[in-house]
Amino acid sequence: MLDERRTNLEISFHEDEVKLAEVMMDKLRTTVEFLYYLMDYRGKVSFTMITLSADNIKLKMWLQKWKRQTDVLIEVDPVKNVYVLICQSTDLDGGKKFAEILISNIGMNGGKSTYCVETELTSTKHTIQEMIFKMVEKYISIKQEQRSNQVFLTQLDDKPSNENKDVIYS
Protein backbone atom coordinates (compact mmCIF):
# COMPACT_ATOMS: atom_id res chain seq x y z
CA MET A 1 0.00 0.00 0.00
CA LEU A 2 2.94 2.36 0.45
CA ASP A 3 3.40 2.90 -3.28
CA GLU A 4 -0.23 2.94 -4.40
CA ARG A 5 0.09 6.40 -5.97
CA ARG A 6 3.43 5.89 -7.67
CA THR A 7 2.02 4.66 -10.94
CA ASN A 8 1.42 7.96 -12.72
CA LEU A 9 4.98 8.75 -13.84
CA GLU A 10 6.14 9.08 -10.24
CA ILE A 11 4.45 12.46 -9.79
CA SER A 12 2.89 11.68 -6.43
CA PHE A 13 4.94 11.79 -3.28
CA HIS A 14 4.15 10.60 0.21
CA GLU A 15 3.45 13.21 2.85
CA ASP A 16 6.75 12.69 4.66
CA GLU A 17 8.66 13.21 1.40
CA VAL A 18 6.88 16.49 0.70
CA LYS A 19 7.54 17.61 4.26
CA LEU A 20 11.23 16.73 3.88
CA ALA A 21 11.43 19.05 0.86
CA GLU A 22 9.69 21.79 2.84
CA VAL A 23 12.04 21.44 5.82
CA MET A 24 15.13 21.36 3.60
CA MET A 25 14.01 24.51 1.83
CA ASP A 26 13.37 26.26 5.15
CA LYS A 27 16.68 25.20 6.69
CA LEU A 28 18.95 25.70 3.66
CA ARG A 29 17.59 28.80 1.92
CA THR A 30 19.30 31.56 3.91
CA THR A 31 22.69 29.87 3.97
CA VAL A 32 22.57 29.14 0.24
CA GLU A 33 21.41 32.72 -0.45
CA PHE A 34 24.53 34.00 1.32
CA LEU A 35 26.75 31.63 -0.66
CA TYR A 36 25.03 32.75 -3.88
CA TYR A 37 25.80 36.34 -2.87
CA LEU A 38 29.47 35.44 -2.46
CA MET A 39 29.48 33.70 -5.83
CA ASP A 40 27.97 36.74 -7.55
CA TYR A 41 30.10 39.41 -5.88
CA ARG A 42 33.34 37.71 -4.93
CA GLY A 43 34.17 35.98 -8.18
CA LYS A 44 34.46 32.34 -9.13
CA VAL A 45 33.56 30.41 -6.01
CA SER A 46 32.00 26.97 -5.92
CA PHE A 47 30.55 24.90 -3.17
CA THR A 48 29.27 21.39 -2.74
CA MET A 49 26.29 20.27 -0.72
CA ILE A 50 26.21 16.74 0.68
CA THR A 51 22.93 15.35 1.98
CA LEU A 52 23.46 12.40 4.33
CA SER A 53 21.42 10.09 6.48
CA ALA A 54 22.34 6.86 8.25
CA ASP A 55 20.91 4.41 10.73
CA ASN A 56 22.46 3.20 14.02
CA ILE A 57 24.78 6.19 14.49
CA LYS A 58 24.58 9.65 16.03
CA LEU A 59 25.38 11.29 12.73
CA LYS A 60 25.40 14.88 13.97
CA MET A 61 28.12 14.17 16.53
CA TRP A 62 30.35 12.45 13.98
CA LEU A 63 29.79 15.03 11.23
CA GLN A 64 30.77 17.81 13.64
CA LYS A 65 34.06 15.98 14.25
CA TRP A 66 34.81 15.21 10.60
CA LYS A 67 33.89 18.50 8.94
CA ARG A 68 36.25 21.40 8.30
CA GLN A 69 35.75 24.78 9.99
CA THR A 70 34.58 26.22 6.68
CA ASP A 71 31.97 23.48 6.21
CA VAL A 72 28.46 24.34 7.37
CA LEU A 73 26.51 21.52 9.03
CA ILE A 74 22.74 21.85 8.83
CA GLU A 75 20.44 19.58 10.80
CA VAL A 76 17.49 18.81 8.53
CA ASP A 77 15.67 16.09 10.47
CA PRO A 78 17.31 14.85 13.69
CA VAL A 79 14.64 12.16 14.18
CA LYS A 80 15.36 10.60 10.78
CA ASN A 81 19.06 11.46 11.09
CA VAL A 82 19.19 13.65 7.94
CA TYR A 83 21.91 16.32 7.64
CA VAL A 84 23.39 18.55 4.96
CA LEU A 85 27.03 19.58 4.83
CA ILE A 86 27.80 22.63 2.73
CA CYS A 87 31.46 22.51 1.77
CA GLN A 88 32.75 25.91 0.64
CA SER A 89 35.44 26.18 -2.03
CA THR A 90 34.91 22.53 -2.87
CA ASP A 91 34.49 21.20 -6.37
CA LEU A 92 32.84 18.00 -7.51
CA ASP A 93 35.97 15.85 -7.08
CA GLY A 94 36.74 17.19 -3.61
CA GLY A 95 33.13 16.70 -2.56
CA LYS A 96 33.17 13.18 -3.97
CA LYS A 97 36.31 12.24 -2.03
CA PHE A 98 34.94 13.75 1.17
CA ALA A 99 31.59 11.95 0.76
CA GLU A 100 33.43 8.66 0.19
CA ILE A 101 35.40 9.23 3.39
CA LEU A 102 32.20 10.07 5.28
CA ILE A 103 30.45 6.90 4.11
CA SER A 104 33.48 4.81 5.03
CA ASN A 105 33.77 6.39 8.49
CA ILE A 106 30.05 6.03 9.12
CA GLY A 107 30.32 2.31 8.35
CA MET A 108 33.41 1.88 10.54
CA ASN A 109 31.59 3.54 13.44
CA GLY A 110 28.51 1.32 13.30
CA GLY A 111 26.35 3.26 10.88
CA LYS A 112 24.16 1.37 8.46
CA SER A 113 22.09 2.25 5.40
CA THR A 114 23.88 5.48 4.59
CA TYR A 115 22.18 7.55 1.90
CA CYS A 116 24.23 10.30 0.26
CA VAL A 117 23.55 12.87 -2.45
CA GLU A 118 26.11 15.42 -3.60
CA THR A 119 25.33 18.62 -5.47
CA GLU A 120 28.00 20.97 -6.81
CA LEU A 121 27.20 24.61 -7.49
CA THR A 122 29.50 26.62 -9.70
CA SER A 123 27.12 29.41 -10.71
CA THR A 124 23.92 31.13 -9.63
CA LYS A 125 22.09 30.59 -12.91
CA HIS A 126 19.72 28.11 -11.24
CA THR A 127 17.38 29.17 -8.48
CA ILE A 128 18.00 28.10 -4.91
CA GLN A 129 14.63 26.37 -4.93
CA GLU A 130 15.50 24.40 -8.07
CA MET A 131 18.85 23.31 -6.62
CA ILE A 132 17.39 22.20 -3.27
CA PHE A 133 14.41 20.44 -4.81
CA LYS A 134 16.62 18.58 -7.30
CA MET A 135 18.78 17.36 -4.42
CA VAL A 136 15.72 16.32 -2.36
CA GLU A 137 14.21 14.52 -5.34
CA LYS A 138 17.39 12.47 -5.85
CA TYR A 139 17.60 11.72 -2.11
CA ILE A 140 13.97 10.50 -2.06
CA SER A 141 14.60 8.40 -5.15
CA ILE A 142 17.65 6.59 -3.77
CA LYS A 143 15.90 5.98 -0.44
CA GLN A 144 12.89 4.44 -2.23
CA GLU A 145 15.22 2.21 -4.23
CA GLN A 146 17.25 1.39 -1.09
CA ARG A 147 20.50 2.31 -2.84
CA SER A 148 22.55 2.92 0.27
CA ASN A 149 26.29 3.27 0.88
CA GLN A 150 26.89 5.06 -2.41
CA VAL A 151 27.44 8.69 -3.36
CA PHE A 152 24.93 9.98 -5.89
CA LEU A 153 25.37 13.14 -7.91
CA THR A 154 22.87 15.77 -8.92
CA GLN A 155 23.92 18.39 -11.40
CA LEU A 156 22.14 21.51 -12.47
CA ASP A 157 23.16 22.03 -16.02
CA ASP A 158 21.59 22.06 -19.43
CA LYS A 159 23.20 18.80 -20.55
CA PRO A 160 21.01 15.73 -20.94
CA SER A 161 21.43 13.46 -17.95
CA ASN A 162 22.59 9.88 -18.19
CA GLU A 163 20.95 7.83 -15.44
CA ASN A 164 23.80 5.31 -15.50
CA LYS A 165 26.33 7.96 -14.53
CA ASP A 166 24.67 9.25 -11.36
CA VAL A 167 26.58 6.91 -9.06
CA ILE A 168 29.97 8.42 -8.38
CA TYR A 169 31.02 6.11 -5.56
CA SER A 170 29.96 2.64 -4.59
* Domain ranges across the chain: 26-169
**Residue 76 confidence (pLDDT) above 60:** yes
Question: Region 23-49: what's the mean pLDDT?
Answer: 89
Where is 80: in which H helix or E strand? Answer: none
Whole-structure pTM value:
0.84
Q: What average pLDDT is seen over the chain?
A: 86
How many residues are present in the chain? 170
136-161 pLDDT tens trace: 999 999 999 999 999 999 877 654 44
Higher pLDDT, 60 or 5: 60
CATH architecture of 26-169: 2-Layer Sandwich (3.30)
Long-range contacts from 59-65, C-beta under 8 angstroms, 24+ separation: 59/83, 59/106, 59/111, 62/105, 62/106, 62/109, 62/111, 63/102
Which residues, in sequence order, are CB contacts of 54 under 8 Å at separation 6+? 81, 106, 111, 112, 113, 114, 115
Residue 146: the pLDDT is 94
| Rounded Cα distance, 88 and 79, in Å | 26
Question: Region 1-11: what's the mean pLDDT?
Answer: 51
